[in-house]
């Protein structure tokens, strides 16, 4: 018959889980604050549709009020888009929770995804649209924001952590 875990090992496991949650929350908070701060600068200094060159031939700051989902997809119903974002967060958590338990990279990635998603959700709830402004006009056809960047980097980190975890198995 297998022995039950000692109280000390249960406490250690609980501390590890708490520190994992704190790390995810920290990165989510940082991503959210940077996103909202950058969007605040844009909305205070630009009119919708206004564009200013930042780096000639590479980057413009272009203020867009994006009513659609990722890459202009999924319609423009704010409540549906918020609901979809929450469902995707839940799916990501279930898909990558084991990787997050074992990998610092996965915890950072998930924190970035959560913070970015919350940043865009706050925009949709407050304004009915998302503030986009990063415009690599010769390289990428879509204008995006810090939240979108955090989500993209977070997904890449989760995939890298997941691949590393599977390689060790």
70-80 confidence digits (pLDDT tens): 655 555 566 77
Which is catalytic among the residues 35, 123, 132, 135? 132
| 118 contact partners, CB below 8 Å, separation of at least 6 | 28, 32
12-68 confidence digits (pLDDT tens): 545 566 788 899 999 999 999 999 999 999 999 999 999 999 999 999 999 999 887
The predicted pLDDT at position 74 comes to 57
Whether 98 is a known active-site residue: answer no
1 falls within a domain: no
Total domains present in the chain: 1
| 161 contact partners, CB below 8 Å, separation of at least 6 | 96, 99, 100, 103, 105, 106, 109
Interior CA angle at 121 toward 153 and 157, to 5°?
15
20 falls within a domain: no
Which is catalytic among the residues 35, 123, 135, 148? 148
Which residue segment(s) compose the domain that 153 sits in?
A: 28-168
13 falls within a domain: no
15 falls within a domain: no
| Range list of β-strands (E), the chain | 51-55, 59-66, 130-135
- Spatial contact of 66 and 151, defined as CB atoms under 8 Å apart: no
pTM: 0.81
The predicted pLDDT at position 145 comes to 97
- Tokens representing residue 24 in the block: 């995810």
What is the chain's mean pLDDT, rounded?
A: 84
8-state DSSP, 68 = S
7 falls within a domain: no
95 falls within a domain: yes
Nearest to 25 by CA among 133, 126, 100: 100
5 falls within a domain: no
47 falls within a domain: yes
Whether 35 is a known active-site residue: answer no
Q: Which residue has the higher pLDDT, 158 or 166?
A: 158
């Amino acid at each position: 018959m297998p022995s039950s875990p000692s109280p000390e090992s249960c406490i250690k496991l609980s501390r590890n889980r708490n520190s994992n949650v704190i790390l995810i929350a920290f990165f989510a908070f940082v991503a959210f604050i940077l996103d909202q701060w950058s969007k605040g600068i844009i909305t205070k200094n630009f009119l919708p549709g206004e564009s200013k060159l930042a780096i000639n031939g590479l980057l413009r700051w272009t203020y867009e009020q994006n009513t659609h989902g990722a890459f202009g997809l999924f319609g423009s119903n704010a409540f549906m888009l918020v609901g979809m974002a929450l469902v995707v967060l839940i799916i990501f958590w279930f898909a990558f929770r084991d990787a997050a338990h074992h990998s610092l990279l996965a915890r950072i990635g998930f924190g970035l995804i959560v913070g970015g998603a919350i940043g865009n959700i706050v925009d949709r709830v407050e304004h009915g649209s998302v503030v986009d402004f990063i415009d690599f006009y010769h390289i990428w056809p879509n204008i995006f924001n810090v939240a979108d960047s955090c989500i993209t980097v977070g997904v890449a980190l989760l995939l890298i952590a997941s691949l590393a975890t599977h390689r060790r198995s």
